[in-house]
Amino acid sequence: MPVDPTTTKYLIRASIKADGVIEKPDIIGAIFGQTEGLLGNELDLRDLQKGARIGRIEVDVETNRGRSSGTIMLPSAMDKVESAILAAALETIDRIGPAKATVRVEKVEDTRIARRDQVITRAKELLATINEDPSQDSGRITDEVRNAVQVAEIGKFRNTKIWCGPNVETADSIIIVEGRSDVLNLLKFGIKNTIAVGGTSVPEEIQQLSTEKTTTLFVDGDRGGELIARELLETCEVDFVARAPNTREVEELPHKLVMKCLKNKMTAEQFISQHGLKIKRPEAGEKPAAKSAAKPAPEPQADGEEKPARTRSRRGRGRGKKDDEAEEAPAEQAEKKPARTRRAPKKDEEATEEKAPAAKTPAPKKKADDPRSGLRDTLDALAGSLKATLLDDAGSPVKADLAVRELADTLKGGKDTVHTVVFDGVITQRLLDIAADKKVATVVGVKMGNVTKVPDTVEILTKDDLN
């Protein structure tokens, strides 16, 4: 017997009533016999069944008191037009066996709708199973792999007990955090130049490292974080300070909040001023207060002239310990005799003074009309104020009492000719780029920040250079 169609699109449902006793073979014989040749060769039922375009005809019949009734189901793989024509042909049957009969098509059902509903229902069940299975959680798999990488990357700094990221030695800047968990959390977000202080007692290695690299302090937003910040500001050369939100810890911060805290970091001077702290910070290039050991001042030069001052001071770059101490000692002795250094010599005396040997002067003496003397006084007047002063080529103020946070925008949008910028802050790459663009000749700040490219047209002076 022919098999059912491989794809059933429509199901023809019809009812049958007969005035006599009939059976299933009689009904099937009447269907094939009375529709033969009615619809032409293309829609002949026998040919359609052989070609698997219609399936097996199912008949269910019952007899009651000499009358028969039942149902006919005919599956069709043809399109809806041909299926409708075939269904209408069934209603032409008027006799089955010896009895008169009536066939009525009730409906032509699209079986694909029922199949779609079945697919949707089953898909929902499968989706619920997938979501409930923890082994399918891609986020958990990613976290496991990431944590494994973090543990593999974290190490000890120079064979000590100090935990750090893999790039602390090679990076130009470092981030000091409180503990090992903070280092791991920042490693999770790709920040590999972190080092843990491990408590309020600051190791000597971290103190030395802060003098060699641009240092950012990243502490918790609680009381403990504030105490560690004060300790590090007193013992290390910290350039910037970032702090977690109140009551939050660095080790629990998500990626977005970590990046926001580091982006909104402030200079060490701003942090000290904002929190009203009384801290004696080590000067740039100077060792922490507990370790500085002043050596005797060097003998004055035979010709009495001062050594050329450094024009671009950098921490820990090619300078030895003896060089730093040798430069600090003459400056300290010069400050003990303000009356001799502040006297303005006449022009005709300057040449004679340069040639005369320094018979009684213990340290090199600076000229009172040296332009740097005025810059030093201006910078000292701005100490702790977080303000800036803009000077013209004659040394007169163009704009004074300018907030440091507004300095870059003021220079960029200002129309006045600015020759010198003096401000109580750290000299950054962005400020130098703007100064070069605006043809500013000199930039004076407290210390150098993370500057990678120094413009040739801009002279850079720090507090060390002016002392």
Roughly what angle, to the nearest 10 degrees, separates helices 255-263 and 180-188?
A: 100
CA 333 to chain centre: 50
Q: Distance (Å, rounded) from C-alpha 204 to C-alpha 161?
A: 12
95-96/10-18 β-pairing = unpaired
Query: 419 or 304, which is more confident?
Result: 419
Does one domain contain both 361 and 450?
no
pLDDT digits (tens, 9 = 90+) for 383-405: 888 899 999 888 888 888 888 88
- Count the domains in the chain: 4
Averaged pLDDT for residues 148-155? 71
Neighbour tally for 345: CB within 10 Å = 12
Does one domain contain both 352 and 407?
no
Does one domain contain both 388 and 357?
no
Last residue of a domain, one of 303, 334, 365: 365
Judge whether residue 236 has pLDDT over 80.
yes
Residue 249 is predicted with a pLDDT of 92
Residue 148 is predicted with a pLDDT of 65
Does one domain contain both 299 and 264?
no
The CATH number given to whatever domain includes residue 266 is 3.40.1360.10
Residue 352 is predicted with a pLDDT of 40
Does one domain contain both 165 and 213?
yes
Does one domain contain both 160 and 256?
yes
Q: Distance (Å, rounded) from C-alpha 202 to C-alpha 287?
A: 14
Judge whether residue 343 has pLDDT over 90.
no
Report CA-CA distances (Å) from 309 to 306, 438, 454. 8, 26, 18
Q: How confident is the model at residue 251 (pLDDT cuts 50, 70, 90)?
A: very high
- Residue listed under structure tokens 């013992």: 235
- Terminal-to-terminal C-alpha distance of the chain: 110
Judge whether residue 203 has pLDDT over 50.
yes
| Cα dihedral across residues 264, 270, 273, 276: positive or negative | positive
Judge whether 445 and 412 are in contact, CB under 8 Å: no
Residues in Cβ contact with 357 at an 8 Å cutoff, skipping those fewer than 6 apart = 302, 303, 304
| Cα dihedral across residues 438, 439, 442, 448: positive or negative | positive
In a domain, 442, yes or no: yes
Judge whether residue 344 has pLDDT over 70.
no
Query: 189 or 289, which is more confident?
Result: 189
The CATH number given to whatever domain includes residue 72 is 3.30.70.2690
The CATH number given to whatever domain includes residue 404 is 3.40.140.20
In a domain, 325, yes or no: yes
Last residue of a domain, one of 365, 399, 416: 365
Residue 466 is predicted with a pLDDT of 85
pLDDT digits (tens, 9 = 90+) for 297-325: 343 343 434 444 444 433 333 444 444 44
Does one domain contain both 321 and 406?
no
Long-range contacts, stretch 227-234, CB < 8 angstroms, 24+ apart: 227/200, 228/178, 228/197, 228/199, 228/200, 229/271, 230/277, 230/279, 231/200, 231/202, 232/176, 232/197, 232/202, 233/268, 233/271, 233/272, 233/277, 233/279, 233/281, 234/279, 234/280, 234/281, 234/288, 234/289
pLDDT digits (tens, 9 = 90+) for 13-60: 999 999 888 888 888 888 888 888 888 888 888 888 888 888 888 999
- Tally DSSP H helices, then E strands, for the chain: 17, 19
Does one domain contain both 413 and 330?
no
Judge whether residue 257 has pLDDT over 90.
yes
Last residue of a domain, one of 349, 365, 381: 365
Q: How confident is the model at residue 356 (pLDDT cuts 50, 70, 90)?
A: very low
Report CA-CA distances (Å) from 49 to 32, 36, 53, 210, 451. 11, 13, 6, 90, 87
Does one domain contain both 384 and 332?
no
Judge whether residue 228 has pLDDT over 80.
yes
Residue 2 is predicted with a pLDDT of 43
pLDDT digits (tens, 9 = 90+) for 92-149: 998 888 889 999 999 998 888 888 888 999 998 888 877 655 555 666 666 676 666 6
pTM of the model: 0.36
Q: Distance (Å, rounded) from C-alpha 150 to C-alpha 184?
A: 6
Structural domain boundaries, residue 201: 150-274
DSSP single-letter state for residue 5: P
397-403/387-391 β-pairing = antiparallel
In a domain, 40, yes or no: yes
Residue 297 is predicted with a pLDDT of 38
Does one domain contain both 80 and 184?
no
Residue 414 is predicted with a pLDDT of 80
In a domain, 234, yes or no: yes
Judge whether 18 and 96 are in contact, CB under 8 Å: yes
Q: How confident is the model at residue 296 (pLDDT cuts 50, 70, 90)?
A: very low
Does one domain contain both 159 and 85?
no
In a domain, 143, yes or no: no
pLDDT digits (tens, 9 = 90+) for 329-342: 433 433 433 443 34
In a domain, 137, yes or no: no
Share of the chain above pLDDT 70, in %: 74
In a domain, 281, yes or no: no
In a domain, 434, yes or no: yes
Does one domain contain both 171 and 64?
no
Residue 331 is predicted with a pLDDT of 38
Q: What is the dihedral of CA 154, 157, 158, 161, to 10 degrees?
A: -100
Share of the chain above pLDDT 90, in %: 26
Q: What is the pLDDT of the chain when averaged over all its residues?
A: 78
Residue 147 is predicted with a pLDDT of 67
Judge whether residue 219 has pLDDT over 50.
yes
Residue 309 is predicted with a pLDDT of 40
